[in-house]
Amino acid sequence: MGSAAPRPDGNSAQRQGSTFFQPKARTRIGGGRCASDSMALSHPSLCVPPLALSRQGVKASRIPSGTSDSSCSRVAKKTVVCGPSQSRQGRALTVGPPSEPSSSRTSIFRSSGSLLSGGLAYERRRLRKKGYSEPVISTLLRARRPSTTLAYARVWKAFDSWCATAQVQPCRASIADILTFLQDGLKKGLAYSSLRVQVSALGCLRGKFEGSSLACHPDVARFLRGVRNLRPPLRAPCPSWSLNLVLEGLTVAPFEPLRRASLKDLTLKTVFLVAIASARRVSELQALWCREPFLRISASGVSLCTVPSFLPKVVSAFHVNQSVDLPSFSEKELQSSHGSDLKRLDVRRVLLRYLEVTNDFRRSDHLFVLWQGPKKGLQASKATIARWLTCSIASTYIGCGKSVPDGLKAHSLRSQASSWAESTQVSTQEICRAATWKSLHTFARHYRVDVRGPSAASFGSSVIRAGLSGSHPI
């Protein structure tokens, strides 16, 4: 080929000589790089470039943009240079772009394809045996929420892996096989609620056993009762963080005054006040709209609605058509001894300021939008809003010089809001309407926490005082 001109990839000590590449058939890979399907060795001292073993090696071996041919040679390491003792016959050399690692971010729709393929195939097959048409089957499969379907898919995947190890066909698993699978989950530390989800998922996968559903099978029901006795569903009787401390922290810097608060602190304060004043789930907060007619502002407060396409956890006329009503304190309340703090915690005032600041960069009609990064102005996800809620609690604790409580969860705001409302003698109907519970049983069983403190001991003190003042028995 002649003498090589000086360039970054060249070696001046080995420019001259008759060593050259002789391409037999060249196939373009793309991006201006060419590769030879086979290269014949015309001299025993042929030098081939080493394969890139790392991302840095790949970048170093790339030809600058604008170069149309990449058949130029580089001196290879000694271990890959064909010497006289090695075979002189040319071998096919496959050259391709470096393999890039797959993205770790998997969306709910991207992951559903691989997770649901096995379970839905079994379920579709079972529904086809009943004589249902494909449109009917598609409608039947939409009876579950996407989150429930994905939870079932994870159970199906775990059960399929277990069946492969136990050499059992998933569609022909017996009650004994299913109970063994559940026992393995109990041994790994799964809670009673998780095992109930597994029973529901396997019931959809397997169908009926002996004329009844899997959950109603006597042995399965007895197994679940045993799990509940072994691991009863306990919940903390007291809240893990103090609402009083957090509200006091929101009335001072860096959250006040609002005109000087950063966009981050303003967002954290707005999200927390809306969540605690409404007792709504994070999914409902994420679906709130900031345009009319879904947003109505008046002197008495703010009324918000979710977008019509949003489906709540329970799809019913009661849950779908509920609005989020945020109050505003009256002038009489603002003139009281705690009037200055109430004004700083007025949800209407904080929300209007948030809408005013975000209006300049807003790219979504969702109420809460991202405040930084390349997606600034787009709607915030449920995970992001949940992180903002826990971050607002942690920020107030740090600002007060206290250690952040362990195990902070955004869902704990619902129990705090409803429990404090009950302590101030708010009617049960109002609590259930605000938190979208159809009955008080849900609040009493899952969300009620003791926020009253030592005053709850009035019963015991009354008994002792009455016993001391009473007459002695005959």
Confidence of residue 327 (pLDDT cuts 50, 70, 90): confident
Contact predicate 152/201, CB 8 Å: yes
pLDDT surpasses 80 at 453: no
Asked whether the CA dihedral 405, 410, 412, 414 is positive or negative, the reply is positive
Instruction: Taking residues 171-185, report their average pLDDT.
Output: 92
Which backbone phi and psi does 357 adopt, to 5 degrees?
A: -75, -40
Omega cis (within 30) before 257: yes
Contact predicate 180/214, CB 8 Å: no
Q: Is the pTM for the entire model greater than 0.85?
A: no
Query: What are the pLDDT digits (tens) for 92-123?
Result: 333 333 333 333 333 333 333 444 555 677 67
Query: What are the pLDDT digits (tens) for 282-293?
Result: 999 999 999 888
Q: What mean pLDDT, rounded, does the chain reach? A: 76
Distance of CA 50 to the CA centre of its chain: 43
Alpha-carbon Rg for the chain in angstroms: 34
For residues 427 and 429, give the distance between their C-alpha atoms in angstroms, rounded to a whole number: 5
Mind giving me the DSSP string for 308-332?
A: TT---SS-SHHHHT--EEEE---HH
By CB atoms closer than 10 A (0-12, 13-18, 19+), residue 395 is: buried
Which of helix, strand or coil describes residue 242?
coil
Contact predicate 275/285, CB 8 Å: yes
For residues 310 and 287, give the distance between their C-alpha atoms in angstroms, rounded to a whole number: 7
Which backbone phi and psi does 41 adopt, to 5 degrees?
A: -90, 115
Assigned CATH topology for domain 112-230: DNA polymerase; domain 1 (1.10.150)
For residues 217 and 177, give the distance between their C-alpha atoms in angstroms, rounded to a whole number: 14
Assigned CATH topology for domain 243-451: hpI Integrase; Chain A (1.10.443)
- Report the candidate in 327, 375, 332 with the shortest Cα–Cα distance to residue 350: 327
Half-sphere exposure of 167 (CA within 13 A, CB side): 0
Residue ranges covered by each domain of the chain: 12-80, 112-230, 243-451
Higher pLDDT, 267 or 31: 267
Residue 18: the pLDDT is 45
Residue 417: the pLDDT is 92
Asked whether the CA dihedral 102, 104, 109, 113 is positive or negative, the reply is positive
Strand order in the sheet with 301-304: 295-298, 301-304, 324-327
DSSP H helices, 130-145, are 134-141
DSSP H helices, 62-145, are 108-129, 134-141
Query: What are the pLDDT digits (tens) for 191-241?
Result: 999 999 999 989 876 666 666 788 889 999 999 999 999 998 777 778 889
Q: Scanning the structure block, which residue is given the tokens 């947003």?
A: 295
- Distant-in-sequence, close-in-space partners of 144: CB < 8 Å, separation ≥ 6: 152
